Amino acid sequence: MERRAFLKSVGVSTAAVLVGVPARSRTATAADPAGWRTFEVTTKVEVVNPSGVTRVWVPLPLEAATDYHKPLGNNWKSNAPTMRSHRDEKYGATLLFVEWPAGEKAPVVEVVSRFSTRDRDVDLSKPLASPVKESPATLKTYTAPTKLMPVDGIVLETSREIVKGAGNDLEKARAVYEWIVENTFRDPKVRGCGIGDIRGMLETRNLGGKCADLNALFVGLTRAAGVPARDLYGIRAADSKEFKSLGKSGDITRAQHCRAEFYVASHGWVPVDPADVRKVILEEKPGLTLDDPIAKRARAKLFGQWEMNYLSYNFAHDVKLPSATGDPVAFLMYPQAETVEGRKDPLDPAAFKYEIVSKEI
């Protein structure tokens, strides 16, 4: 498509305006003693062979500022007449909705997002001086079931066995984490990040999968034990300082990753990632086992710590895409597209082309 046909529209998040603001005033630098690093992630989506009305949904960075993530705004441009940001009411997930009328032969949209992030490290050796209060509504949301993450039946039965003998909620979450690390495996044959059907995993006793499977299993089993837990969906945005298998920079189109965390009043939300322990064992170097020092280091680190070489999108499940004719998506981590012929497969580049590129500022 000719550049002059690429009509431009600019969207701005409520967090910050990027245009015309000096870099020093809007973010910390990579050398910031507080550890903040700033990134720019560009997502370009093209729908191949569109038919009828064409729609695209692009996940946007986590809207809320946290102690590990600061949203710095989003810009977008497209040849579409309809573009608007949308916020999911239940989870607060944000996305860009784009729609082209029938007859558009080359739908394309580009989103540029900036954010700052820094590593998380929760000291679990002692409680905080003051308990961390979370709203009852939030705690209810993150102990409730989802379509693919029930908290009854075999999930509840398995959870009870795992946490038997555990005392407080921290011990229960630790027991589930250790069980995931010991009993699951990363299956490289699984497409994308997996689907997160935890009941199916337990019923078939096939405990192989990728991050959206293994970390969903942690979240579901932890919720079934009465401990609030949630998945964080996002994408790796830089190389790892410690584990080469746990980072990606430059072209990050296939670097989506799901993380997890649980809540205890004594420490607040605690980051974990048992799925990445299994990824280290499979990919860091040939022949790794749980007894290898590298695996032990990852296992110890990823209960309470996240290296934030990572763009955080949302905590959402069963996401209803605005104006979509298809079913809700189990989670929103990939761009999505739909034509009159139905929902496109985000893992099929022949039908749905997108590129995601990250650079550190």
Instruction: Indicate the helix (H) or strand (E) that contains 43.
Output: strand 37-47
**Hey, what are 207's tokens?**
């405990």
**pLDDT, tens digit, for every residue of 25-76?**
233 334 466 899 999 999 999 999 899 999 999 999 999 999 999 999 999 9
Strand 208-209 relative to strand 185-186, pairing: parallel
> Domains along the chain?
3-118+317-360 (2.60.40.2250), 123-307 (3.10.620.30)
14: pLDDT confidence band, cut at 50, 70 and 90? very low
CA-closest candidate to residue 82, choices 11, 3, 1: 11
The CA distances from residue 152 to 144, 157, 218, 223, in Å, are 10, 8, 14, 10
pLDDT digits (tens, 9 = 90+) for 251-263: 999 999 999 999 9
Percent of the chain with pLDDT over 70: 91
Average of per-residue pLDDT across 104-119:
97
Measured CA to CA, the distance from residue 278 to residue 289 in angstroms comes to: 9
Q: Region 221-242: what's the mean pLDDT? A: 98
Q: So what's the pLDDT on residue 2?
A: 33
Q: 144: which 2 tokens?
A: 């409730």
- Rounded CA separation 209/152 (Å): 21
CA distance 154 to 106: 47
Distance between CA atoms of residues 311 and 60, nearest Å: 9
pLDDT band at 350 (very low <50, low <70, confident <90, very high): confident
Picking from 101, 81, 130, the residue whose alpha carbon sits closest to that of residue 265 is 130
pTM of the full structure:
0.91
- To the nearest whole number, what is the mean pLDDT of the chain? 91
Supply the pLDDT for residue 65: 95
Write b or e for each residue in 99-128: b if 16 or more Cβ atoms lie within 10 A of its Cβ, otherwise e.
Answer: bbeeebeebbbbbbbbbbbbbbebebeeee
Which residues are paired to 113 by β-bridges? 41, 74
Closest CA to 57 of 16, 109, 134: 109
Query: Would you state the pLDDT for residue 8?
Result: 40
75-101 pLDDT per residue, tens: 999 999 999 999 999 999 999 999 999
Q: Compute the distance between CA of residue 241 and CA of residue 154 in angstroms, rounded to an integer.
A: 39
Confidence of residue 18 (pLDDT cuts 50, 70, 90): very low
pLDDT band at 237 (very low <50, low <70, confident <90, very high): very high
Interval 269-296: pLDDT, tens: 999 999 999 999 999 999 999 999 999 9
pLDDT on residue 33 = 64
Q: What is the mean pLDDT of residues 200-207?
A: 97
CA 58/CA 314 separation, integer angstroms: 12
Q: With 90 as the cut, is the pLDDT of residue 15 above it?
A: no
